[in-house]
Structure 1
Amino acid sequence: MSCSTKVEEIDSLLSEGLRSDVERGKNIRIVYSDSAVVKIVIHAPVMERYSDYNNSKDVFPKGILLEFLNENKIVYSWLKAETAIREERTQKITAKGNVIFYNDKNEKLETPELIWDERERIVYTDKLVRITQAEKGDTTYGFGFKANQEFTRFEIKQKVQGKINVSDFVTAIN
Structure 2
Amino acid sequence: MRYVFHVFLLLSALCLGYGCSDGDHQEVAVALYDGKIPMMVTHDVTMLISDSGIIKYRAITPTWVRFGDDTQIDSVTKGAYQYFPDGIEFEQIDTVFEATETIVADTAYNWESRQMWHLIRNVSVTSRKGEKFQTNDLYWDMKKHTVYSDSFIHIERADNIIEGYGFTSTDDFTKYEIKQTNGIFPLRENAAATSSATTTAKGEESDEQ
Q: What percent identity do the matched residue pairs reach?
A: 27
Q: CA deviation at 1:66?
A: 1.0
Task: State whether residues 164 and 182 of structure 2, in contact with CA within 8 Å, keep that contact through their aligned partners in structure 1.
Answer: yes
| Secondary structure at the counterpart of residue 174 of structure 2 | coil
Provide the residue aligned with 2:143 in structure 1: 119
User: Take 2:139 and 2:37, find their aligned partners in 1: how far apart are those partners?
Assistant: 29
Is 1:97 equivalent to 2:121 in the alignment? yes
Contact 1:126 1:143 in 2 (8 A): yes
Give the structure-1-normalised TM-score.
Answer: 0.77
| Larger helix percent | 1
Q: Is the 8 A contact 2:41 2:63 kept in 1?
A: yes
Does 16-25 or 78-87 show the bigger shift?
Answer: 16-25
1:73 match: 97
Aligned to 2:201: none
Higher alpha-carbon deviation: 78-87 or 66-75: 66-75
Instruction: Look up the match of 1:109.
Output: 133
How far did 1:162 drift? 8.5
Match of 2:30 in 1: 16
Matched residue count: 150
Match of 1:84 among 98, 108, 122: 108
Instruction: Summarize the alignment of residues 118-137 of structure 1 with structure 2, pairs less than 5 Å apart.
Output: 118-133=142-157, 135=158, 137=159
Q: Paired residue for 2:167? A: 145
Give the alignment's Cα RMSD to 1 decimal. Answer: 2.4
**For 1:103-134, what per-residue CA distance to the aligned partner results, in whole angstroms no more than 9, with x for missing partners?**
1222011101111111011111010000000x
Query: Retained in 1: the 8 A contact 2:151–2:165?
Result: yes
Q: Are the equivalent residues in 2 in contact too, given 1:76–1:150 (CA < 8 A)?
A: no
Give 5+ residue unaligned stretches, structure 1: 4-11, 164-174
Give the aligned partner of residue 182 of structure 2.
Answer: 160
Task: Tell me what 1:7 maps to.
Answer: none
C-alpha separation in 2, matches of 1:27 and 1:57: 18
8 Å contact kept, 2:87–2:104: yes
